[in-house]
Amino acid sequence: MARLGTETAFEVLVKAKALEAKGRDVVHLEIGEPDFDTPANIIGAGCEALHKGFTHYGPSSGLMELREAIAQYVSETRSVNVSPDEVVVVPGGKPIIFFSILALCEQGDEVIYPNPGFPIYESMIDYVGAKAVPIRLREEMEFRLDVDELAGLINDRTKLIIINSPQNPTGGVLTKIDIDQIAEAIGNRNIMVLSDEIYSRLIFEGEHHSIMSIDGMKERTILLDGFSKTYAMTGWRMGYGVMRADLATQLSRLMTNSNSCTASFTQIAGVEALRGPQKSVEKMCAEFKKRRDVMVAGLNKIKGFSCRLPKGAFYVFPNITKTGWPSKKLADALLEDAGVAGLSGTAFGDFGEGYLRFSVANSIENIEKALERVDAWTKKNLK
Ligand SMILES: Cc1ncc(COP(=O)(O)O)c(C=O)c1O
């Protein structure tokens, strides 16, 4: 258990709530979830499903209706042919990370993963006793990975490569060329790719490209996507993996051993999410873009902060090295003294030092309030 890591966002949320309980006002920019309500048509479908009796166990890999809808959606959006037996529905995107690493990796294996990156990757690689091999994401590369560097990290022990685009925490988005070159670097080696595409519908500039679309990569890709971010359904707990049918059978067995199945009525709501109107997704994305612009412009006016415009997801990742403060100490001070909850870049790995992560999943009014507070704090505390 000592090897298992955590997701700091949940710890900071608890700390911020404790300050609020003492009467302090805190602007929450720490947690990565849309502040919007789940669209009404999806809630309606979930309620109706409850009344219709979708209150029982279902198949471990997910209800056929939903796996069919996912197979169709992924086939259309990634230009591949996916069948329902290649889909595993799980409670959130996270279990796909957990199960894939558990199923594929053991001591002696190496796993390449983005750093800074979603902390669960490193946590799970360490947990199963495999070797975590970070690929550093650099600001000067707009936080896309350097494919030459990736090629240099691949060896005979590499079992799995994790990529994530749009990326948490940097908002970096891999280009079509990046994806092509990553596939080229892997060549015909027997290496699996876990492609975390949970933010695939939250792109502000450019388009989403999946490594699954590349000839010869479908068999070696586990695609992770889900409902949490796209449809503001974080609390419903539903996501999915798309992978070779033989591997899908193994992941379903992990589901049988852990959760039995994802909640049945939730899955019916998932069918409505995928097949119903998509206007709310576009609306949320446009709103996140507006907030991103306000946040980045504001941060760039604050002493010691500089921030690139992220191309996707709903985070900004300002460089704070010119403040002279280490990231964790600065994040703590901003929460405790200024009432602004954000995360230290180091919550996403060692290469996150020198950065903070703020989520823009909050109103423009609150974002402006946070900017004023950070600005006032820096004026008071930085020489
Ligand atoms: C990159 C990435 N992958 C996966 C997840 C997990 O999403 P879910 O809440 O659906 O488990 C998150 C959530 O923050 C994420 O940022």
Question: Does pLDDT of 8 surpass 90?
Answer: no
Q: What percent of the chain has pLDDT over 70?
A: 100
- Structure token digits, residue 122: 């490193």
Please give the pLDDT value at position 7: 87
**Residue 215: other Cβ atoms inside 10 A:** 7
Q: What is the pLDDT of residues 39-76, one digit of tens each?
A: 999 999 999 999 999 999 999 999 999 999 999 999 99
Angle between helices 364-381 and 279-299 (to 10 degrees): 20
Q: Cα(297) to centroid of ligand 1, in Å?
A: 27
Checking if the pLDDT of 104 tops 90, the result is yes
E strand or H helix that includes residue 340 = strand 340-341
Give ∠ CA 171-175-180 in degrees, rounded to 5: 135
**Is residue 31's pLDDT more than 90?**
no
- Describe the crossing of helices 264-275 and 64-78 by its angle, rounded to 10 degrees: 30
CB 166 within 8 A of CB 203: yes
Which pLDDT tens digit goes with each residue over 215-233?
999 999 999 999 999 999 9
Given pLDDT bands bounded at 50, 70 and 90, which one contains residue 10? confident
Conformational region of residue 42, where left means phi above 0, alpha means psi within -120 to 50, and beta covers everything else: alpha
d(C-alpha 299, C-alpha 99), whole Å: 38
Q: Which residues line ligand 1 (CB under 6 A)?
A: 32, 92-94, 118, 164, 168, 196, 198, 226, 228, 234, 239
Atom of ligand 1 nearest to the CA of 234: 9
Residue 93 C-alpha to ligand 1 middle, in angstroms?
5
Distance from C-alpha of 142 to C-alpha of 178, rounded to nearest angstrom: 12
User: What separation in Å is there between the alpha carbon of 38 and the centre of ligand 1?
Assistant: 17
Residue 33 has pLDDT above 90, yes or no: no
Ligand 1 atom with minimal separation from the 95 CA: 11
Query: Residue 89 CA to chain centroid, in angstroms?
Result: 17
* Spatial contact of 75 and 81, defined as CB atoms under 8 Å apart: yes
Q: What would the pLDDT profile of 280-297 be if each residue is shown by its tens digit?
A: 999 999 999 999 999 999
| Cβ proximity of 12 and 333 under 8 Å | no
Mutate to test the pocket of ligand 1, among 38, 229, 233 (most ligand atoms within 8 A of CB): 229
Q: Is the pLDDT of residue 177 over 90?
A: yes
Q: How far is the CA of 381 from the centre of ligand 1 (A)?
A: 35
Asked if the peptide bond before residue 169 counts as cis, ω within 30 degrees of 0, the response is yes
Which ligand 1 atom sits closest to the C-alpha of 118? 1
Token pair 């704090």 is at which residue? Answer: 377
Which of 168, 231, 259, 317 to mutate for ligand 1's pocket (most ligand atoms within 8 Å of CB)? 168
Strand 343-344 to strand 221-226: parallel, antiparallel, or no bridges (unpaired)?
unpaired
User: What residue owns the CA closest to ligand 1's atom 16?
Assistant: 168
Please tell me the distance between residue 282's alpha carbon and the centre of ligand 1 in angstroms.
20
Q: Residue 32 — very low, low, confident or very high, per pLDDT cuts 50/70/90?
A: confident
In this prediction, residue 15 carries a pLDDT of 94
Please give the Cα distance from 187 to 352 (Å, whole number): 30
Q: Once rounded to an integer, what is the mean pLDDT over residues 2-28?
A: 93
Distance CA 202, CA 229 (A): 8
Question: Which residue has a Cα nearest atom 14 of ligand 1?
Answer: 32
Q: What is the mean pLDDT of the chain?
A: 97
Are the C-beta atoms of residues 309 and 173 closer than 8 Å to each other?
no
pLDDT confidence of residue 383: 79
The CA 92 to ligand 1 mean position distance, Å, reads 7
Average pLDDT over every residue of 115-142: 98
pLDDT computed for residue 234 by the predictor: 96
The DSSP string of 196-255 is E-TTTT-BSSS----GGGSTTTGGGEEEEEESTTTTT-GGG--EEEE--HHHHHHHHHHH
Of all protein residues, the one whose alpha carbon is nearest to atom 13 of ligand 1 is: 32
pLDDT per residue as tens digits for the range 303-358: 999 999 999 999 999 999 999 999 999 999 999 999 999 999 999 999 999 999 99
Q: What average pLDDT does this structure show over 95-108? A: 98
